[in-house]
Amino acid sequence: MIVRRAIGVGVGIATEQEIDTLNILEATRTAMRRAVDALAAAPDCLLTDAMELPGLDIPLRAIIKGDALSRSIAAASIVAKVTRDRLMADYHRTYPQYNFLSHKGYGTEEHLQRLAEYGPCSIHRRTFAPVAAVLAGRVS
C-alpha cells in the first residue's frame, strides 16, 4: 500500500563489506544517499529519523523519534523493514543452516548458536562481535 500511494520510494542498501569498512553509521548514511538517488524525482526536503546526512544539496530535518511523529518517516521505516525481511528470506534460501527466515539476522540466541555451529557465511559482518569471536576461535 505504501509503495502504491507514495509519490516516490527509493531504497538504498549497504553491503556487509561496506559496514565492516565504514562502520554502521557511515554505511547507514551511504544507504540513505542511495535511497535518495533511487528516487525518480528529487525531493524538495528530506525528513529523517534523527539521522543527519551531510553533503546533500537537499534541505533535511532530522527528527528525534521521527517514526512516531511523521507519517512519511514511519512509512520509510516500514519499507526498509519489509525490504530487509525479504532480503533475509533470500539469504535463508542460500544459507538455510542459519535459519535467517526466523531471526532475520538479528543477534538472537538461535542465530548465535547457528553461528557458533557453522561459522560465519559471506553475509556475516566480520566486525560484529559474535562473528569476530567465532573467527578468533573464542566460541566453541
Summary mean pLDDT of the chain: 96
What pLDDT band is residue 78 in, cutting at 50, 70 and 90?
very high
Q: Is 47 helix (H, G, I), strand (E, B) or coil?
A: strand
User: 118 and 63, same structural domain?
Assistant: no
- The residue-averaged pLDDT of 76-87 equals 97
Q: What integer is the mean pLDDT of 112-123? A: 96
* Cα(132)–Cα(110) distance, integer angstroms: 17
123 and 77 in a common domain: no
**Buried b or exposed e, range 17-34, using 16+ CB within 10 angstroms:** ebbbeeeeeebbbbbbbe
Are 114 and 88 in a shared domain? no
For residue range 5-48, list pLDDT tens digits in order.
Answer: 999 999 999 999 999 999 999 999 999 999 999 999 999 999 99
Q: Answer yes or no: do 128 and 64 share one domain.
A: no
Residue 138's pLDDT is: 82
The three three-digit cell numbers of residue 129, written as one number: 562481535
Q: How confident is the model at residue 74 (pLDDT cuts 50, 70, 90)?
A: very high
Tell me what pLDDT residue 66 has.
98
| 57 and 19 both lie in a single domain | yes
Number of domains in the chain: 2
**Stretch 86-101: mean pLDDT, rounded?**
98
Judgement on whether residues 60 and 87 belong to the same structural domain of the protein: yes
Phi-psi region of 56 (alpha: psi -120 to 50; beta: other; left: phi over 0): beta
> What are φ and ψ of residue 138, in 5° steps?
-90, 5
Which structural domain, as residue segments, surrounds residue 19? 1-94
Residue with cell 507519517: 71
Q: How far is CA 126 from CA 4, 17, 42, in A?
A: 37, 8, 35
- What pLDDT is attached to residue 140? 56
pTM: 0.89
Which pLDDT does position 116 carry in this prediction? 94
Asked if residue 57 and residue 102 are part of one domain, the reply reads no
Handedness of CA 18, 23, 79, 73 (dihedral sign): negative
Torsion-angle region of 101 (φ positive above 0: left; ψ -120 to 50: alpha; else: beta): alpha
